[in-house]
Amino acid sequence: MKIKTAKELMNENLLVKHLAGSLAYGTNIPTSDVDYRGIFCADPINVRTPFFVIRETEDDEEEDTKFYELAHFMKLCLDCNPNIIETLWVDDEDIEFRTPAYDLLREHRHALLSSKLAFTFSGYALAQLKRIKGHNKWINNPQPEQKPQQREFVSLVQWFGEEKVMPRDFDLLFYHTYHRLVPFGGNTFGVYKSDDMKTQTFSLDGSLNTQFDEERENLEPPLAIIKFNKEEWKTACERWKQYWGWKKNRNKSRGELEELYGYDTKHAMHLFRLMRMAKEALLTEDILVKRSDAAELLDIRNGALTYEEVVAWAESMDKEVREVCYKKTKLRKKPDIHFAAKLLMDAQDLVWNK
């Protein structure tokens, strides 16, 4: 028996193919990508045995596509995944290919909704807010090009020199040459004078030179005792790495928007859309994919709101969705998995029996 690939199954057992993303929402601009989503059905051997499980695939002929296997789609749908639910509510005019099996699912789409969407939609929205806050932090607090050096994370514990040195004024840079570091245990070191200029307290990359072969008992008293704040240095290195990774990989056009407005306005647009869709679904029991507020959403994308306004609105709307709309909704608390199971099997039969 030949086991078909996911792409072969997609080509043979496709239930629906529709426009997704900004084109489906009505928020597209001339440079927007053309996204497609859809559902296909695997063969019985993929579904009835655990050996050849298939969950999703892409179409090589389209740049931005994602097709979900029917059983996997149904599970995600009952989980109220925002990106999945849209497939059953997308406008008819945005559907490029459909079958009776898809129409059967669409006919019973209301029965697949539950009030759980209050948390999944708002959760996806708050993920956008988290990105906005994170990127805003990078924009307002850029990292230097040089990686954090260990010598910058040294603090003075005790001073024994003649001149007065306050802890806040201590800088290992002033004791770089003609000095050495002697380990005192843990992250604590003694700073000792040396007659050899080649003896240095840190290397060119700023890392501490802590190699010492002599007996410490034979040394004169140290000039100072210092502490290397290792955890702070590690945190700074991670922050530096994250910043330059973000700087390198961020989308150029969206980066320009961030620099102009102080935050990612496209993330803000999605945040508003998701929160509003959650509120609408809880109160009307419908998922409104094609947005009547598309013009306003595009204004948000173009920087109509300040960073502070976006954050305040998101936090207020999240509270309204979770605490007000969730209590008012007539949607069932949990999905009816018995109904969903029968609907899934009926759709599979339609595909397998052609």
- Given a cut of 70, whether residue 136 has pLDDT beyond it is no
Q: 0.75 exceeded by the pTM?
A: no
Closest CA to 265 of 87, 121, 81, 139: 139
Instruction: Measure the CA–CA gap between 6 and 9, rounded to whole angstroms.
Output: 5
| 124-138, 169-183, 304-318: least confidently modelled range | 124-138
So what's the pLDDT on residue 132? 84
- Given a cut of 90, whether residue 276 has pLDDT beyond it is yes
Could you tell me the pLDDT band of residue 322, with boundaries at 50, 70 and 90?
very high
Could you tell me the pLDDT band of residue 354, with boundaries at 50, 70 and 90?
confident
Phi (first) and psi of residue 68, to 5 degrees: -105, 135
State the DSSP H helix or E strand holding residue 39, giving kind and residue range, or none if neither.
Answer: strand 35-40
Closest CA to 124 of 277, 286, 282, 240: 277
Quick one: the chain helix, strand, coil %, rounded to 5? Answer: 50, 15, 35
Q: Provide mean pLDDT across the span 228-245.
A: 90
Q: Provide mean pLDDT across the span 150-178.
A: 88
Better-predicted residue by pLDDT, 162 or 43: 43
Q: For a pLDDT cut of 90, what percent of the chain falls above it?
A: 67
So what's the pLDDT on residue 73? 98
Q: Rounded to whole angstroms, what are the CA distances from 167 to 19, 73, 158, 227?
A: 63, 61, 8, 11
Instruction: Measure the CA–CA gap between 56 and 41, rounded to whole angstroms.
Output: 10
Q: Provide mean pLDDT across the span 182-204.
A: 87
Better-predicted residue by pLDDT, 268 or 244: 268
Q: What is the mean pLDDT of the chain?
A: 91
Q: Are 27 and 294 in contact (CB under 8 A)?
A: yes
So what's the pLDDT on residue 148? 93
Could you tell me the pLDDT band of residue 199, with boundaries at 50, 70 and 90?
confident
- Which stretches of 160-295 are assigned E, i.e. beta strand? 179-185, 188-193, 224-228
- Given a cut of 90, whether residue 77 has pLDDT beyond it is yes
Q: Provide mean pLDDT across the span 281-308.
A: 95
So what's the pLDDT on residue 263? 85
- Given a cut of 70, whether residue 216 has pLDDT beyond it is no
So what's the pLDDT on residue 138? 67
So what's the pLDDT on residue 281? 97
